Amino acid sequence: MSKNIQVVFVQPPADSEPLDPNRSFKVVHTPFDAAAVPLKANEVLVKNLYLSIDPYHRLGLYDPATTQSQFPATQPGAIISTYGISEVVRSNNVDFAPGEILYSWVRWEKFTVVDKSNLHYLQRVKQYIDPVYYLGPLAGPGLTGYAGITQVANPKKGETIVVSATTGAVGMVAAQVAKRLGLTVVGMASSDDKIRYLVDEVGLDSAFNYRTVSSLDDALKEHCPNGIDIFFDLVGGQILDAALPRMKRGGRIPSAGMISQYDLPHDQRYGLKNLDSIVGMDITLQSYRNTTYEHLLAEMQEQLGGWLMEGSLKFKMHIAEGLENLPTAFGGIFSGENFGKTVVKVL
């Protein structure tokens, strides 16, 4: 008999403290007999091979007694749902056979029963592409970057775009799509190694380490001397604030995330100081969800998949080994320690 390893949410951080992954989660080992698991009509039992860890998971980790949020609170004892790459173990569904490798909606655990409500997420991965890419450029993060540039940013050849969190899953895609459309692309990241990767490997026009520059304002002036046409926002806070005065008339700000604020207590979150600088500038700041553009998923997968196969799309994965290390890997998203799209390889 094997074991089902699960990462269980225990408690949210106190409202005045950032997330401590080792206090908020525990790893549980439970005896598990795959042959004995009852399957209802059309259900599929899968063994998870890779699990996605994403910044948005942090949004539900709060105490509703002390915090208000538009996101539903994750209840203690819950196992967080996520996208995964999974192998079919048993199937009560004629569409999926044991041994097939699927892109799936599962949970932070080794074995998951995919029930009726989540069957529509299941799709076979293409055999000629590393399946882990279905948790990055060929799935939600890729669609967020692709749609943010092609549908929200309204880019024009020759314009200047700044992409924040450029070595994250969304930023890597957004920056490279923008570059292919003929834009001057400026990146930023949290270490010199990441900056070298963006310029030398990804091929951006320039990039800077936002942690070591003397000021964000000076860095943006240096790298965007003629101003910013598009600021692709993934971090919010001080970086967004520094970009606002540098925006050109008619500039666009696609807002796909504000990761710098997710792990801060509400009373410590950064309030924009330069918002007045967009008055009279015809600036558009637009938040969006990738699900709004699900009709572009197949187009995006074909386009980005082709670039991956030919080696012209660079995409870095941060792979943590073993479910026991999932909480630490989750914390690394917010500390800037991780480099690339964070996933856990289930051992």
pLDDT at position 210, please? 97
Q: Which residue has the higher pLDDT, 128 or 97?
A: 97
Per residue in 313-332, pLDDT (tens digit) is 999 999 999 999 999 999 99
Q: Which residue has the higher pLDDT, 49 or 267?
A: 49
HEC sequence for the chain: CEEEEEEEECCCCCCCCCCCHHHHEEEEEEEECHHHCCCCCCCEEEEEEEEECCHHHHHHCCCCCCCCCCCCCCCCCCCCEEEEEEEEEEECCCCCCCCCEEEEEEECECEEEECHHHHHHCEECCCCCCHHHHHCCCCHHHHHHHHHHHHHHCCCCCCEEEECCCCCHHHHHHHHHHHHCCCEEEEEECCHHHHHHHHHHHCCCEEEECCCCCCHHHHHHHHCCCCEEEEEECCCHHHHHHHHHHEEEEEEEEECCCHHHHCCCHHHCCCCCCHHHHCCCCCEEEECCHHHHHHHHHHHHHHHHHHHHHCCCCCCEEEEECHHHHHHHHHHHHHCCCCCEEEEECC
Q: Selecting from 3.40.50.720, 3.40.50.620, 3.30.70.270, 3.40.190.10, what CATH number does the domain 140-291 have?
A: 3.40.50.720
Indicate where the chain has its CATH 3.90.180.10 domain(s).
2-136+316-345
Per residue in 232-270, pLDDT (tens digit) is 999 999 999 999 999 999 999 999 999 999 988 778 899
Indicate where the chain has its CATH 3.40.50.720 domain(s).
140-291
Range 278-282 average pLDDT: 97
pLDDT at position 11, please? 95
Give CATH for domain 2-136+316-345. 3.90.180.10
pLDDT at position 347, please? 92
pLDDT at position 262, please? 92
Q: Does the predicted TM-score (pTM) go above 0.85?
A: yes
Per residue in 164-212, pLDDT (tens digit) is 999 999 999 999 999 999 999 999 999 999 999 999 999 999 999 999 9
Q: Is the pLDDT of residue 15 over 80?
A: no
